[in-house]
Amino acid sequence: MSDDRAHLDALDAYWNAFARNVVAIESDLDSDLAATIRRFHALGDHDAESRPQPGFLRELRPIVTTDPPAGSDACTDAAISPRVTPVNGTTISYRSTRHDAGRLLFHRWSVLAGAAVLALLLGIAWRLFTPQATGDRPAQIPAIGYAATPASSNAGCDVQPRSSANLVSFLDNATGAEPTPPTTVPIENRPAGTAAIDRTTVRQVQTTVEEAVACLARGDVPRSLALYSDDFIAHELAPVAAWRVTQPNWAGQVLTAYQLALISTALPSIPTYVDGWMLDDGRLQIIFSDPAVAGVLNHPETTRMIFANVDGHWLIDAADIQESGRPTEKISPDECTVAPISADEIDRWRELVAAITPVASPSEPTFPRFDVPNGVPASDTEWAAANRTMRQFAACNNTGDALRALAIFSQGYLERRIPQTADPASKATAIADLDNFPTAPTPIPAADWRSMPLLLHVVHLADGRIGVYFSEIGDLSAAGFDYVSPFPTTGIVFCSLVPASDRYLIDSCEPIDRPVGGADASNSSDFASPTPSAFSPTHRSRADARVNLRSDPSFDNDPIDVLDPGTPVQFLGQTRVDDGGNFWYRVRTEDGQTGWLRAEAFASLSNGVDVLCGHSYSSWGAATTNDVRVSVLNVEQVEEGKRPDGTSIMAVDVAVEVENRGAGPVAIEPNDILVSGCNGPATPDAADPLSDSTTLEPPEAAGVLGPGESRTFAVVGHVVALPANRIGRLTFLVEANGTRVGAIDCPLADASLAPEAKSSVGCSATSDRS
């Protein structure tokens, strides 16, 4: 065992010396391994493909090293009074410091809020002031690969946008002073005796955040602003915007790589709900673990956001950041009272591994997954027991003694970690792992001690076990036995605990990547239940391809089924991100199969298609009348040319599926499906006069749909659009048997949009049939 450990060390030492170009490397490393390292690096060094294009770095250098625009230090000190009233002993405070545009960007904002701020700034400025600023704008933003707009996304941005007039009102009232970024503050645990917020509210809050991310990701500033409170905009955004637009070249140099990089990289992530409770003033304090923050700032971060209820909707009212993760209560190893497992046990596992019959498979060994069961709220006694076990889990981990740390797991759990079959390499690796098992304690510095997991909920399970949901941010690898860790380094984990002689032991664990709700989460229907409820489709598989339904969220398994395009599925609330960065969703099909689909493999059944003119989409909306369901499958927009007034002529290709759900026939004629939008209000009663040539293709596809029959039609229209990036909506109008039978109607006109109200526009389904 010690020889192997020395081998690992020798390999690392040699490689480190090689990396540091230490010419004369004296090493105990096997010569063949040293030769492998040298050949590997030689291949890398001579890999011409991986070298940058001539000139790229030279062009990039000034972009990332140039100071912000001149005059950006014109801002003077401004006293910003705390906006958030201290409640419950907590506050989000603001410093009063001197700022300039460059330094503003340097502060450690909550990246979500920071990105939002920047996106909103850009959007406000772009939308409202571009004409006035034209003379000062450089011809082109330096072309270093950024798109002019962030990547588009259709997911979840279904909110009434703020109107231009509303936004201008904020600027009119702005003081012109820069706001001060929120300071980094310690985040406290939920106060004792304070209830977690209920599950419904968690969903509402999460929806607000997801919509904010979705709106920002697609560059829809007016809609994203609708998800922030007036206070937030007036205090955080409007002053900045007002200040910026008074500076020369605001639309040029300011809109360079800095903001675009933040917008385009920070927005796709949606933070994970960790905990939340109501403050004395009726607002909500929500703790999120934010992977986007981690992405920028290099370590897991926790974001605290305050939500205010405005007209029945929870809007973002404030946000800040904690530097070092969740509130922590470091648990001393002295608290560990568990007797270590015997070192003989390691030898026994080694024998079990040695007895594995190798199979020729390149896949890594996989460990059995299980469905997270439902349960009923645990008793106080069970809460206390779960708390003790998880505290022991942390304390024994912090001893640095793997044998004691493992003693808090059940025998069954540990043995289930041993694969039943493995390819020869995996088997050898597993044996090597066990040969190198750290049987001697390795003290862990107090700074690296694991903190007490935050127990979110405890349930009593039908088989006598108890289940505990907890949030976990940390890294078991500090204890040197990370290969037995069942946990992600961040996120929410469900573990089941089994009763043992004097305590409960951890018997199974499953990371949960989605919010699990609050105090009443025990009745959650998000997780697979042993007795499935009625099938209730929430999504459909992709409309344009057959997709694989898989047993695990990875490609390392054979599909359990292949779903036809557009197959309805029920999302079961669990998501995963695999090692390759693929997002997976756990779903159930109508015939009862449960499995995983890649994110690209399905889409929401949301109503309506909200589009950014000039962009194409693969998502869809649907409307259902009494007997006809109309689903929009694809929207593609291509600019065909410009009119003299500068507006674009867009070719719009749409795929529409019509399903006859009635008892009688439905006749679809070539002009029965009309597409309009992007150029202004369009209603089923007044199809946009500027759209033309809306036809069904192929014409012979028209015909009669019998009861239960469905058919997909392609519709090609030519729509005159306002300049690109204007937010528009397409309206789909369907007639059958000479009468309008259904429409997806999403009226749009800036003047018609009510300000600031966060209300879902939705797309109403209409029917002229009784």
Partner 1 sequence: MIDWLRAQQPVAADVTADVSESDADLIARARVDRAAFGVLFDRHAESVYRYCYRRLGDRNAAEDATSQVFTRAMLALPGYRERRGSSFVAWLFAIAHNVATDATRRDRRHAPLDAAAGEMDTGPTVEEAVLGAEEARSVRALLLALPPDQRRAMELRLAGLTGPEIADVLGRSHRAVKMLQFRAIGTLRSLLGVPSARTKSEDDQP
Instruction: For the segment 403-432, give every residue that binds partner 1 (CB under 8 A).
Output: 425, 429, 432
Question: Smallest distance, Å, CB 580 to partner 1?
Answer: 6
Q: Are 698 and 719 in contact (CB under 8 A)?
A: no
CA angle, residues 388, 394, 398, in degrees to nearest 5: 140
Q: Binding string, 241-270, against partner 1, x = CB under 8 A?
A: ----------------xx--xx-xx--xx-
Among 2, 3, 24, 50, binds partner 1 (CB under 8 A): 50
Of the candidates 235, 307, 230, the residue with the CA atom closest to the CA atom of residue 756:
230
Question: Smallest distance, Å, CB 261 to partner 1?
Answer: 4
Judged by CB under 8 A, the chain residues 108 through 167 that form the site for partner 1 are 108, 144-146, 151-153
Q: Give the SS3 label for residue 363.
A: coil
Among 28, 329, 544, 768, binds partner 1 (CB under 8 A): 544
For residue 185, state whether it binds partner 1 (rule: CB under 8 A). Answer: no
For residue 545, state whether it binds partner 1 (rule: CB under 8 A). Answer: yes
Question: Smallest distance, Å, CB 27 to partner 1?
Answer: 10
Question: Smallest distance, Å, CB 491 to partner 1?
Answer: 13
Q: Are 335 and 450 in contact (CB under 8 A)?
A: no
Q: Binding string, 100-119, against partner 1, x = CB under 8 A?
A: ---x-xxxx-----------
Bridge partners, 226 (sequence order): none
Among 28, 41, 130, 248, binds partner 1 (CB under 8 A): 41
Q: Which residues of 330-339 are buried (b: 16+ CB within 10 A; e: fewer)?
A: ebebeebebe
Q: Are 249 and 136 in contact (CB under 8 A)?
A: yes
For residue 65, state whether it binds partner 1 (rule: CB under 8 A). Answer: yes
60: exposed, middle or buried (Cβ count in 10 Å: 0-12, 13-18, 19+)? middle
Among 548, 619, 625, 637, binds partner 1 (CB under 8 A): 548
Place of tokens 């896949």: 363
Distances (CA, A) of 392 to 252, 339, 342, 372: 57, 11, 18, 23
For residue 70, state whether it binds partner 1 (rule: CB under 8 A). Answer: no
Single-letter amino acid, residue 113 = A
How far, in Å, CA of 390 to CA of 149, rounded? Answer: 46
How far, in Å, CA of 333 to CA of 420, rounded? Answer: 34
How far, in Å, CA of 673 to CA of 492, rounded? Answer: 47
Nearer to partner 1, 165 or 425 (CB): 425
Q: Is the dihedral of CA 105, 111, 116, 117 positive or negative?
A: negative
Among 95, 98, 348, 546, binds partner 1 (CB under 8 A): 546
For residue 33, state whether it binds partner 1 (rule: CB under 8 A). Answer: yes
Nearer to partner 1, 32 or 334 (CB): 32
Question: Smallest distance, Å, CB 282 to partner 1?
Answer: 34
Judged by CB under 8 A, the chain residues 487 through 506 that form the site for partner 1 are 489
Of all residues in the chain, what percent are helix, strand and coil, respectively (each to 5)? Answer: 30, 25, 45
Nearer to partner 1, 34 or 605 (CB): 34
Nearer to partner 1, 12 or 280 (CB): 12
Nearer to partner 1, 51 or 642 (CB): 51
Longest alpha-carbon distance in the chain: 89
How far, in Å, CA of 235 to CA of 231, rounded? Answer: 6
Q: Binding string, 429-468, against partner 1, x = CB under 8 A?
A: x--xx--x--------------------------------
How far, in Å, CA of 673 to CA of 705, rounded? Answer: 14
Nearer to partner 1, 262 or 628 (CB): 262
For residue 40, state whether it binds partner 1 (rule: CB under 8 A). Answer: yes
Q: Give the SS3 label for residue 619.
A: coil
Among 2, 3, 20, 135, binds partner 1 (CB under 8 A): 20
Judged by CB under 8 A, the chain residues 282 through 321 that form the site for partner 1 are 294-299
First to last CA, the chain: 80
> Which part of the chain contacts partner 1 (CB under 8 A), choosing from 119-127, 160-168, 598-606, 685-693?
598-606
Question: Smallest distance, Å, CB 188 to partner 1?
Answer: 23
Nearer to partner 1, 35 or 749 (CB): 35
For residue 67, state whether it binds partner 1 (rule: CB under 8 A). Answer: yes
Question: Smallest distance, Å, CB 306 to partner 1?
Answer: 23
Give, for 10, the enclosing helix (H) or strand (E): helix 2-19
